[in-house]
Amino acid sequence: MAETAPPQVDDSYLSKVIEAAVRVGLVLLLITWCFSIVRPFITPVVWGIILAVAVFPAYQWLVTRIGGRDKLAALIVSMVGLTTVIVPAIVFTGSLVDSGQQIAKTADLDAIEVPPPPSEVRDWPLIGKSVHKLWAQAHRSLEPLLVKFSPQLKEAALWLFGAGVGAGLAIAQSLLAIVIAGVMLAGASGGAAAATAISRRLVGADGERFVEMASATVRSVAVGIVGVAIIQAGLIGLGMLVVGVPHAAVWTLIALFFAVLQLPPTIVVLPVVIYMFSHLSTPVAVAFTVWEILASVSDSVLKPILLARGVEVPMLVIFLGAIGGFMSSGFIGLFIGAVILSLGYELSRSWLLVGAEVGDDA
């Protein structure tokens, strides 16, 4: 039986395969290297893109008002943004430092004096008797109460410390992101053309429509959800600072966390209001309560005004985006995660709708 000859391998074909593999390997190496270099800047760059897209309509309006000088308009927008972040950051940091100093001064249990609970506390609805009992126990001896709740107190202290550090890092990243957003606004036309070209390469003829839809989604979520949460928490914190609420910066930070997650900040405000009723005069306490309640429900008025268009992103998407962003990128990930996951949701939904329309036409 004759043996079959082994298949001949074309040397030129093998050479081309090896050359292609080497090229692909070099490209992957270059991409990996570039990613490792820019990785520390990914979060502020993404945040800068979101900010640039969010304020682009205001930037265009300013350009037309100052005679088409786009670079000057970008500089003005950047300076306004930096001021908007720096001034509250200084107030927040000062309040946080004061809170830390107060806690350090009262760290000695012997130096802490808890006043006796007012008799009116017992008449508070639902929680009056329990609060009065705990308060009276703290007045008699604080140490057993702290020992009883020491695990919860340690967890809360660690969380607050981590949140404070994350907030400081978020402020620094926000300042860098504002500068990046200003640079992007100055070259907005080139950036828009590049985004459209990339989108066309990815999705074909509908690329430009997807870019417009993505911009509208980013603008809507960034302004209508993140922006409203910042305004809401700012109003709540302002009221607390005016009446002298202890650790107002910490309470404001927690309120911002709840607002971004689309949870009612009233959860945070209610205990503070109840506590301040025992330390303020009745008219001031009532005025403080009214202000905090109005600030807590202000999102119902602000959202219809600030939403760029009717992008109805499910609350679960925003919640998962904020939590996932917080776990992966720290405090600033609260904002970026909510925006990015909402954008992904809208793009996926639109892509599916376009595919369904094409199938129906066929």
| Domain residue ranges of the chain, discontinuous segments joined by + | 42-352
Pick the residue with more confidence: 76 or 15? 76
Pick the residue with more confidence: 100 or 304? 304
The Cα 12–Cα 20 span in angstroms is: 12
Say whether pLDDT at 82 is over 70: yes
Give the pLDDT mean for 224-240: 85
* 169 band by pLDDT with thresholds 50, 70 and 90: confident
Residue 87, Cβ density class (10 Å: 0-12 exposed, 13-18 middle, ≥19 buried) = exposed
Say whether pLDDT at 100 is over 60: no
Q: What pLDDT, on a 0 to 100 scale, did the predictor assign at position 167?
A: 67
Using DSSP, state whether 153 is helix, strand or coil: helix
Give the pLDDT mean for 235-249: 84
Torsion on CA atoms 276, 277, 279, 281, rounded to nearest 10: 130
Going from the C-alpha of 206 to that of each of 67, 191, 254, 354, the distances in angstroms are 34, 18, 42, 9
The Cα 220–Cα 313 span in angstroms is: 10
Say whether pLDDT at 109 is over 50: no
Q: What pLDDT, on a 0 to 100 scale, did the predictor assign at position 86?
A: 77
* Length of the chain (residues): 362
6-15, 126-135, 172-181, 297-306: range with lowest mean pLDDT: 6-15
- Spatial CA neighbour of 313 closest among 189, 213, 170, 164: 213
Residue type, 170: A
Give the pLDDT mean for 200-223: 72
Query: Which range, 111-120, 155-164, 271-280, is most confident?
Result: 271-280
Q: The whole model's pTM is what?
A: 0.60
Say whether pLDDT at 108 is over 60: no
Give the pLDDT mean for 239-255: 82
Say whether pLDDT at 65 is over 70: yes
28-32, 178-182, 311-315, 343-347: range with lowest mean pLDDT: 311-315
DSSP assignment of 15-57: HHHHHHHHHHHHHHHHHHHHHHHHGGGHHHHHHHHHHHHHHHH
The Cα 174–Cα 168 span in angstroms is: 10
Q: What pLDDT, on a 0 to 100 scale, did the predictor assign at position 29?
A: 92
180-189, 274-283, 325-334: range with lowest mean pLDDT: 325-334
- Beta carbons within 10 angstroms of residue 273's beta carbon: 22
Say whether pLDDT at 230 is over 70: yes
Say whether pLDDT at 7 is over 80: no
Residues 6+ apart with CB under 8 A from 57: 219, 308
Cα four-point dihedral sign 284, 287, 293, 299: negative
Q: Which two tokens stand for residue 267?
A: 């959860």
Q: What pLDDT, on a 0 to 100 scale, did the predictor assign at position 72?
A: 85
The Cα 283–Cα 273 span in angstroms is: 13
Question: Mean of the per-residue pLDDT values for the chain?
Answer: 75
* 325 band by pLDDT with thresholds 50, 70 and 90: confident
Pick the residue with more confidence: 247 or 103? 247
Give the pLDDT mean for 4-11: 56
The Cα 192–Cα 177 span in angstroms is: 18
Say whether pLDDT at 103 is over 60: no
Q: What pLDDT, on a 0 to 100 scale, did the predictor assign at position 347?
A: 75
Pick the residue with more confidence: 149 or 108? 149
Going from the C-alpha of 90 to that of each of 83, 138, 280, the distances in angstroms are 11, 34, 27
105-110 long-range Cβ contacts below 8 angstroms, 24+ apart: 109/142, 109/143, 109/146
Q: What is the pLDDT of residues 17-58, one digit of tens each?
A: 888 888 888 989 998 998 888 888 888 888 888 888 878 888
Say whether pLDDT at 236 is over 50: yes
Give the pLDDT mean for 338-342: 79
Give the pLDDT mean for 244-250: 79
